[in-house]
Amino acid sequence: MPEDIRLPPADPAPPAPRGAGIDWLVPCPEGLYCPPGDFWVDPTRAKPRAIVTHGHADHARPGHGAVLATPETLAIMAARFGPDQVRGQPLGYGERLTVGDVSVMLAPAGHVLGSAQIVITHRGRTAVISGDYKRRADPTCPAFEPVPCDLFITEATFALPVFRHPPAAGEIAKLLHGLDVFPDRAHLVGVYALGKCQRVIRMIRDAGYDRPIYIHGALAPLSALYEDLGVPLGPLLPVAGRARADLAGELVLAPPGAVADRWARQLPDPLVAVASGWMGVRQRAKQRGAELPLVISDHADWDELLQTLSDLRPEETWITHGREDALAHAAAGMGLHARPLRLAGYGDEDDDSPADPAGPQPASTEG
């Protein structure tokens, strides 16, 4: 980041917790602060200098003085907030940059296009901030890469043993089978605008479906950006202006909020599907009106979270946004030292938002 914008933090930082020999990364109410680098990671409020893991709204905020992120994340932020709201410096995967007194590298997180783990090295110790991640293959973004570290800061969105997601290809096969069984019904799929939409489209294409896919207007800008960034999605057509009868037997993608809205009434007898990691929870699927729940998540499930801790075996693990206590307990059973951070402001994103599998869930704030 340019040195001409090097400023002191906007808010005083509390004393740093000492773990894994790292006292230079500080959990604060508005995010993680690195004093020797004088920057914040995914802060929930505008800061002079921020490193952003990915473009979802709970991690990427407008108004920062300067942003360090992957080129794809900067492009997504500019598309969402406007170019004048993103003063950014791109950093590719595997490239290193000295920021203040620390070394910073970005590694693939496998969450959405451009998503990155933040790798910070200082005084011979390394901390890795995962952001949101998954370990499964995704045709729209590079796969998660485990990075050896002393401190690992992990998400915990699906950190309960009940969350073991099935193979995504099987969920797509269920959707395409529905087209054969109900050829007169529009198949309306609720997907979030960033990441889930494009991943579902790409998996549909990889399954051999080459017909046009109809999309809600809210999904068009980021889908076009994905195409510009090298992710082919095949023919996409707007729903607007189509005769109702023309959409019979067609695939239609829309934000989850539109699935239950008057907008959906223009479709012929829609069969409603929703693609989300929460669709494995019957009550959540019922809330969303999903006749065909598709358990497709862009977050690590329980087994993936444990696999990651086993692969890395860091000296210390900090756990954030999700089922923090459950994952900390499981980590302790693996002989690892872990503790919850209890940071607020994360989870209400364009993807699956944390919720209690045993009870009613709030809808995500964006679609």
Question: In Å, how far from its chain's centre is CA 225?
Answer: 17
Total number of residues shown for the chain: 367
% of residues, the chain, pLDDT over 90: 83
Model confidence at 132: pLDDT above 50: yes
% of residues, the chain, pLDDT over 70: 88
Which pLDDT tens digit goes with each residue over 60-87?
A: 999 999 999 999 999 999 999 998 888 9
Go through the domains of the chain in sequence order and give each one's CATH number. Answer: 3-162+298-340 (3.60.15.10), 168-294 (3.40.50)
Which pLDDT tens digit goes with each residue over 315-332?
A: 999 999 888 999 999 999
Q: Per residue in 277-307, is it b (16+ CB within 10 Å) or e — as a string?
A: bbbbbeebbebbebebbbbbbbbbbbebbbe
Q: Are 30 and 45 in contact (CB under 8 A)?
A: yes
Distance (Å, whole) CA 152 – CA 165: 23
Identify the pLDDT of residue 322.
Answer: 86
Q: How far apart are the first and last CA of the chain?
A: 32
Distance (Å, whole) CA 59 – CA 45: 10
Q: Are 206 and 139 in contact (CB under 8 A)?
A: yes
Which pLDDT tens digit goes with each residue over 155-199?
A: 999 999 999 999 999 999 999 999 999 999 999 999 999 999 999
Identify the pLDDT of residue 344.
Answer: 62
